[in-house]
Structure 1
Amino acid sequence: MFRHITTLSAFVAIAALGPPARAQERFPVEEATIAGVREALAAGRISCRDLVQTYLDRIAAYDQAGPRLAAIRAVNPQALRQAEAFDRDRGRLAAQPLACVPLVLKDNYDTAELPTTGGSASLAGAQPAKDAFAVAKLREAGAIVLAKANLQEFAQGGVSVSSLGGQVRNPYDLTRTPGGSSGGTGAAVAANLALAGTGTDTVNSIRSPASANNLVGLRPTQGLISLSGIMPVSKTQDAIGPIARTVSDAAALLQAMAGPDPDDPLTAAAAGRPPEDYAASLKPDALRGARLGVVRPLFGTKPEHAEVNRVMEQALDVLEKAGATLVPIEDPAFEANRLNAENDVQTYEFKALFNPYLATIPNAPHKDLAGIIASGQFHKAALETFLTGAEARQDGMAEPEYKARLARIAAFKAHVASVFEAERLDALVYPLQKRLVVPIGELNQADRSGIVAGLTGFPAIDVPAGFSAPSETAPLGVPIGLDLLGRPWSEGRLLGLAYAFEQATKLRRPPASAPPLGSSAR
């Protein structure tokens, strides 16, 4: 068991923010939506302060007590004051689409009032000078940063363990991991410790915790959302996006986060595109007439894949009954293990991006990757191989193999585009994870399929597809997600397809490990 360094400070911060909400007519924050909160605020059935306080109460009850989810790295000591400011100016409700929406941000998003540590003891207390561009846009839309989420340290892996925050537990099965690397956000949103949250995705890392926590996770077209102020891993593969309990909430967060940033050249491709109204795409009949490519090489064939395959076949039946045409794709070019082994460029790019990022943090305890490695203040079992391998590359982006990988990535991206064109597809369909998330103690989540989006930069959304059979440790079963991958800039279409599937199935269920509290918002 790992020592939770921030436990005491988190409870002190929560206590300092004020007493629990007084017991009156209860507003159910469990499974609350952005639209539902806005309606309650407009009707005066809830105050922003009490909404925020109730989430803080749930963090105190379930994150470091009760099931001890370890999903939260630190709470925001300014959260209640920001909520009170909203209550003094209710006009913001009409002007700001995310007014008083309490969010949990993965702790690799720069925030002006909270350190950004990447979950690493080596960066404890590292305080950025300003918000990440996407965080600033969320605040402009009215959102409140409730807390920073634990994660797989430096977003390097799929089980969400870190030296600073310890091991995040899956709220549906406390013996299992929550996926990763955005597993803290996933567990927090699933357990209703916040209204919604954000993640980063270099290969799988928004959609893996969405799949494992019965959530919606959206990795957008690379360049739709700025990466400025996000702790980097790979300029070729990184993307950021929302993690939410519903497709409509994911669409609302995407609406706020998207847009060009002069400090991020990747967003230049979005600069000439008129902003899309993502909510307008959310129609229950959006699957009617859709052509969906079922990528069979991304399905498992071994006994350990049986539960996921069972759920996926049921999901495919739903898609077909809702009016979609399913097109089998047997193309071996989509084989995920080979794509990861031959094309992934993280170790070539990491040091060249990470060291300049550290230089932007005024009080960073270490100024480069070499210093972090020398400190030993990181989760060695999970990270040492990657970090030392990245540091050993003198100039990874000048190596012939790196350039060869970029060429193969470009060829694969063109090939995927040609499959869409030849089969006239709206999206590709496959399980994000071929097997259930692994038990706590394992350091690798095998058999994930997110690399297709990671290499192409195409958008992908993961939606709840069902659960494995219930067990003693998983009373509802372990969540399983369905991935939909679309053409570049097709977020509206993807959200529509996901929404139609969500409405046809209504598979979202809160975990039994974090039930309603007796004291909650009014």
Structure 2
Amino acid sequence: MPPIAFARSACLVALAGAVLVQADPVAAQAPAPAPFRVEDSTIAGVREALASGRITCRGLVQGYLDRIAAYDQAGPKLAAIRALNPRALAQAEAYDADRAAGAAKPLGCVPLLLKDNYDTAELPTTGGSAALAGAQPAQDATAVARLRAAGAIVLAKANMQELALGGVSVSSLGGQVRNPYDLTRTPGGSSGGVGAGMAAGFALGGLGSDTVNSIRSPASANNLVGLRVTQGLISLAGIMPVSKTQDAIGPITRTVADAAALLQAMAGTDPADPLTAAAAGKVAPSYAAALKPDALKGARLGVVRVLFGTKPEHAEVNRVMQTALDALEAAGATLVRIDDPAFEADALNREDDVQTYEYKALMNGYLASIPNAPHKDLAGILALGQFHRAALEPFLKAAEARQDGMAEPEYKARLGRIAAFKAHVAEVFAAQKLDALVYPLQKRLVVPIGELNQADRNGIVAGLTGYPAIDVPAGFSEASATAPAGVPVGMDLLGQPWSEAKLLGLAYAFEQATNLRRLPASTPPLEAR
């Protein structure tokens, strides 16, 4: 990927109207307002700063571009960004030219990072694969169109695990994404470019996809909030597919409130995605209304013990999780121990996952929808070999070898087991009167760069059931030479279908009680210049 050129403007967003009137002794003595720092800003904070005239939309967007210039292609070279939107600054200037119209939109001037499996009309959608370089969709994905209608600006497409098939975020087109908290480790995946970019302060919000773990793994590994929604709450139209049974999308943000704001803009039915018909009447009028600091009081949370590791390599995550569980209790939650082997993640992945059965037909259909796709089917991608062979070839060959995967008896047997597991999870919720299940998204820390698989991930529970799950920062491992603040650890809260408002409330209360968000040492605030 060639270096990206950027304007060398000020990295801090310029203050507007900050001239002191010398004749006014009070004004002359008043301290100057603190610089507006984009790296830890929030949607609410940006809206307030724009409304007051403290910042401009163009200045905000340029501030993020400056950080990308300093830390993605230079400095630690995170490799989180695959392509910048050349129209982003012009869209920001349009906001500034008519602030009243922009401010009326709930996401006015919210710069976003999109995982590179979201279709966009002005940028190719490659899935991080050299095999799909230049593949230009005819229109935005439904989720992207709704975000734009709400005022958001697509700032960039993010690097990812190629074709969303794995958890370490390496691709033939974008290379290996690095974790900003420990540059020797991966950022999780497959939405790792969004995760690393959001942690490093490259945008105000991010969007990922999740077939097994892929929104919540980067959230866990990068001290972020990641929300996988109930399947059908947000349209999958225009999203490069992996599995019709397991795919879902959602936000990756620095705060729970920002996740709620992005969800509000995207949720709802869509004729282009039949799965969303079930969302009719299920979208909360205001997800933000659920964000109350006392939401954990009286909540019953099931702690799924089989999703905690028992080996030495699991000790750091277990230590962090115990502290998080203590914080949940201190905030008023009742913890209910769940000892149930049905939740064993390795067995669920091995025996019930249906990706290889569904992938070929879905990917072939998607490629046929892209006017200039370099390949029109999976066989063409395999034949040319322009992909990360070590990471992808076993899966791609297995998927291509299935003549009609969704007609195979084993596929139908797996769907039957998935239905039974989903019913079992519902029974656990009812029997224990639970508001959510709690567990670490990953039993161990994210793996070092060079490993091709992230072992011991627990996201399959949501992936198979289609239930919503939100991952929130739970803390950090012990500090080390390569991780000055430690490696982030995330905690999953899994709820019943359509319970996103409740989950957001629980996550918000935990976030407010613990305040665990930290900027990575490798991407500090930039000096004004």
TM-score greater than 0.5 by the shorter chain: yes
Distance 1:418 1:50 in 2: 52
5+ residue gaps, structure 2, are 16-34
Alignment of 1:188-337 (within 5 A): 188-273=197-282, 275-337=284-346
Distance 1:351 1:148 in 2: 24
Query: Which residue of structure 1 aligns with residue 160 of structure 2?
Result: 151
Listed one character per residue, the Cα deviations across residues 133-159 of structure 1 (whole Å, up to 9, x for unaligned) are 000000001000000000000000000
- Give the aligned residue type for 1:436: L
Query: Which residue of structure 1 aligns with residue 126 of structure 2?
Result: 117
Alignment of 1:18-37 (within 5 A): 19-20=9-10, 24-25=14-15, 26-37=35-46
Change (3 A) 1:393 1:56: same
- Judge conservation of contact 2:9–2:66 (CA < 8 Å) in 1: no
Which structure is higher in RCO with an 8 Å CA cutoff and minimum separation 6? 1
Distance 1:274 1:46 in 2: 33
Give the greater-gyration-radius structure (CA). Answer: 2
Cα deviation, residue 92, structure 1: 2.6
Listed one character per residue, the Cα deviations across residues 216-258 of structure 1 (whole Å, up to 9, x for unaligned) are 0000000000000000000000000000000000000011111
- Judge conservation of contact 1:42–1:93 (CA < 8 Å) in 2: no
Distance 2:79 2:459 in 1: 25
**Corresponding residue pairs, total:** 510
Distance 2:10 2:476 in 1: 34
Distance 1:493 1:513 in 2: 35
Distance 1:330 1:66 in 2: 46
Distance 2:218 2:11 in 1: 30
Distance 1:154 1:240 in 2: 15
Cα deviation, residue 59, structure 1: 0.5
Cα deviation, residue 28, structure 1: 1.0
1:73 aligns with 2:71: no
Distance 1:114 1:260 in 2: 25
Distance 1:176 1:275 in 2: 38
1:403 aligns with 2:379: no
Secondary structure, in 3 states, of the residue corresponding to 1:30? helix
- Judge conservation of contact 2:76–2:183 (CA < 8 Å) in 1: yes
1:53 aligns with 2:62: yes
Secondary structure, in 3 states, of the residue corresponding to 1:354? helix
Listed one character per residue, the Cα deviations across residues 270-307 of structure 1 (whole Å, up to 9, x for unaligned) are 12335431000000000000000000000000000000
- Give the aligned residue type for 1:362: P
The alignment yields a C-alpha RMSD, in angstroms, of 1.1
Query: Which residue of structure 1 aligns with residue 392 of structure 2?
Result: 383
Distance 1:121 1:83 in 2: 31
TM-score by length of 2: 0.95
Query: Which residue of structure 2 aligns with residue 130 of structure 1?
Result: 139
> Which residue, out of 338, 355, 358, partners 1:346?
355
Secondary structure, in 3 states, of the residue corresponding to 2:250? strand
Cα deviation, residue 196, structure 1: 1.3
Secondary structure, in 3 states, of the residue corresponding to 2:40? coil
Query: Which residue of structure 2 aligns with residue 496 of structure 1?
Result: 505
- Give the aligned residue type for 2:464: L
Query: Which residue of structure 1 aligns with residue 517 of structure 2?
Result: 508
Secondary structure, in 3 states, of the residue corresponding to 2:63? helix
- Judge conservation of contact 1:62–1:514 (CA < 8 Å) in 2: yes
Query: Which residue of structure 2 aligns with residue 92 of structure 1?
Result: 101
Cα deviation, residue 24, structure 1: 4.7
- Judge conservation of contact 2:260–2:287 (CA < 8 Å) in 1: yes
Secondary structure, in 3 states, of the residue corresponding to 2:155? strand
4+ aligned runs moved over 6 Å, structure 1? none
5+ residue gaps, structure 1, are none
Change (3 A) 1:23 1:485: closer
Cα deviation, residue 475, structure 1: 0.2
Cα deviation, residue 519, structure 1: 3.1
- Judge conservation of contact 1:171–1:191 (CA < 8 Å) in 2: yes
Listed one character per residue, the Cα deviations across residues 199-221 of structure 1 (whole Å, up to 9, x for unaligned) are 00000000000000000000000
Cα deviation, residue 517, structure 1: 1.2
- Judge conservation of contact 1:75–1:147 (CA < 8 Å) in 2: yes
Query: Which residue of structure 2 aligns with residue 437 of structure 1?
Result: 446
Query: Which residue of structure 2 aligns with residue 373 of structure 1?
Result: 382
- Give the aligned residue type for 1:153: E
Distance 2:162 2:272 in 1: 26
Distance 1:61 1:122 in 2: 29
> Which residue, out of 340, 343, 355, partners 2:364?
355
- Judge conservation of contact 1:202–1:454 (CA < 8 Å) in 2: yes
> Which residue, out of 178, 190, 200, partners 1:181?
190
Secondary structure, in 3 states, of the residue corresponding to 2:39? coil
Secondary structure, in 3 states, of the residue corresponding to 2:485? coil
Query: Which residue of structure 1 aligns with residue 32 of structure 2?
Result: none
Change (3 A) 1:38 1:203: same
